[in-house]
Structure 1
């Protein structure tokens, strides 16, 4: 897919064929208390435009504007995210569908 504003988005076929790519995120200072600002893993193989919240591997949902994208591992890592990443598992929706990474609030 052609880059848009310097950002290249994965196509549906790229998402299905690629291995998970994780980024580190945590809630911004002031959104929650310091003890709750754990560093989460988010699978971004499903990144697309128009999403306003993300779901970490542990299942925690975070509003995109309230998170920091980290360039290295800082802070306390989320143990559930680490376990799921090492086991190669992702949270499921109630209907049993595999979690795809980012979702719109209207979904």
Structure 2
């Protein structure tokens, strides 16, 4: 099973700048963004609480990085951005 990922951080002014880390989130199926989004670190956000990013910009959430699935060898050789679910290090 493949997993699409995206990045997000809390909006400016909602938390201190040092807490605005970039979280890794699992993209929901389809095009609609759900009311609540869960990061790989376990943090849950309302969709209006996050600035969605096309790439990591700023300090990453270390727990999200540890929990994010890693590419399978076949996918990493092909350069695909999709990852296998359940293959975190």
* TM-score with structure 1 setting the length: 0.59
Which residues of structure 2 form unaligned runs of 5+?
A: 71-86
Structure 1 residue 86: Cα displacement: 4.4
Between structures 1 and 2, the one with greater strand share = 2
Match of 1:84 among 67, 72, 75: 67
Q: Runs of 4 or more off by more than 6 Å in structure 1?
A: none
Gaps of 5+ in 1: 1-17, 90-107
What SS does the corresponding residue of 1:29 show, helix, strand or coil? coil
Residue in 2 that maps onto 1:72: 55
The one of 26, 40, 43 aligned to 1:43:
26
Q: Deviations over 1:52-103 (max 9, x none)?
A: 11110000011110101101211100111111114635xxxxxxxxxxxxxx
Q: When the two structures are superposed, what TM-score results if normalisation uses the length of structure 2?
A: 0.70
Question: Secondary structure of the equivalent of 2:3?
Answer: coil
- RMSD, matched Cα: 2.0
| Displacement after TM superposition at 1:48 (Å) | 6.6
Number of matched pairs = 72
